[in-house]
Amino acid sequence: QSVLTQPPSVSGAPGQRVTISCTGSNSNFGAGYDVHWYLQLPGTAPKLLIYDNNNRPSGVPDRFSGSKSGTSASLAITGLQAEDEADYYCQSYDSSLRWVFGGGTKLTVL
Amino acid sequence: EVQLVESGGGLVQPGGSLRLSCSASGFIFSSYALHWVRQAPGKGLEYVSAISTDGGSTYYADSVKERFTISRDNSKNTLYLQMNSLRPEDTAVYYCVKEEDSNPRWDDAYDIWGQGTRVTVSS
């Protein structure tokens, strides 16, 4: 049971918009800690996708965006492409458990 | 190019020990806190341990506390993870990761990940 809760899977057709939720609590998001998102392609190391709630590292397309409100966060992907098919993880800091991840969400492009 | 390269993984029997190493290049090693994150087969990501820039502060997940020891040698740009009393549930790919910001903060992102080194604990 992860401290941050994500849906196990989401799907969408090419060109569509999908969102992935990440639900926390008062000891992480509610305490003001930022959320970060990572993308993991099969057989590879995770890669930073969104940091500090809504910032994209250099090279990440603006099709990816993040938001956080209260004890929840979400990642949105617009203009879905086949290469977006991957596992997505949210991550933050928890005042009790320290560094925590969501359980991961598998995105399938139909 | 900023890079982290792990080594030292392998097959070990339950109760055994391994030392993982992570060699860094392309950034000022001594300015960044570093972490170990692991991923069991078919599972999600799990924080294992973290260390401050000077090595003076270390942190451990409850699942590895008193069995694993994190350390760093800033003169060699290398991070270590000494793993003792290994259990089958420690089987995972272990990633060395760098915090994004050189200014210390609890909720920093991990901007650089190594390729991972596989640890298998089995008899």
Region for A76 from its dihedrals, namely left if φ exceeds 0, alpha if ψ lies in -120 to 50, beta otherwise:
beta
Mean pLDDT within B105-120: 96
Q: Are strands B10-12 and B117-121 parallel, antiparallel or unpaired?
A: parallel
Those residues with Cβ within 8 angstroms of residue B119's Cβ, 6 or more apart along the chain or in another chain: B9, B10, B12, B18, B20, B38, B83, B86, B90, B91, B92, B93, B94
Across the interface, whether the CB atoms of A34 and B107 are under 8 A apart is answered yes
Q: Is residue B104 predicted with pLDDT exceeding 90?
A: no
Q: Is B4 helix (H, G, I), strand (E, B) or coil?
A: strand
Q: What is the pLDDT of residue B35?
A: 98
Q: Is B29 near chain A, with CB under 8 Å? A: no
Q: Is B9 near chain A, with CB under 8 Å? A: no
Q: What is the pLDDT of residue A2?
A: 86
* Closest among A4, A2, A1 to A90, alpha carbons compared: A4
Going by pLDDT thresholds of 50, 70 and 90, the confidence category of residue B102 is confident
Q: Is residue A76 predicted with pLDDT exceeding 90?
A: yes
Q: What is the pLDDT of residue A97?
A: 86
Q: What is the mean pLDDT of chain A?
A: 96
Chain B 54-113, CB below 8 Å of chain A: which residues?
A: 59, 61, 95, 100, 106-107, 109-111, 113
- Per-residue model confidence as pLDDT tens digits over B36-74: 999 999 999 999 999 999 999 999 999 999 999 999 999
Q: Is residue B10 predicted with pLDDT exceeding 90?
A: yes
B106, B117, B118: best mutation site toward chain A, by most A Cβ within 10 Å? B106
Torsion over CA of B56, B62, B66 and B72, rounded to 10 degrees?
A: -30
Q: How far apart are the C-alpha atoms of B84 and B36, rounded to whole Å? A: 15
Please report, rounded to a whole number, the percentage of residues in chain B having pLDDT higher than 90.
96
Q: How far apart are the C-alpha atoms of A70 and A79, rounded to whole Å? A: 27
- Per-residue model confidence as pLDDT tens digits over A4-36: 999 999 999 999 999 999 999 999 999 999 999
Of B44, B110, B113, the CB nearest to A2: B44
Residue of chain B minimizing CA distance to A52? B109
At residue B96, what are phi and psi to the nearest 5 degrees? -90, 130
- Per-residue model confidence as pLDDT tens digits over A44-53: 999 999 999 9
Q: What is the mean pLDDT of chain B?
A: 97
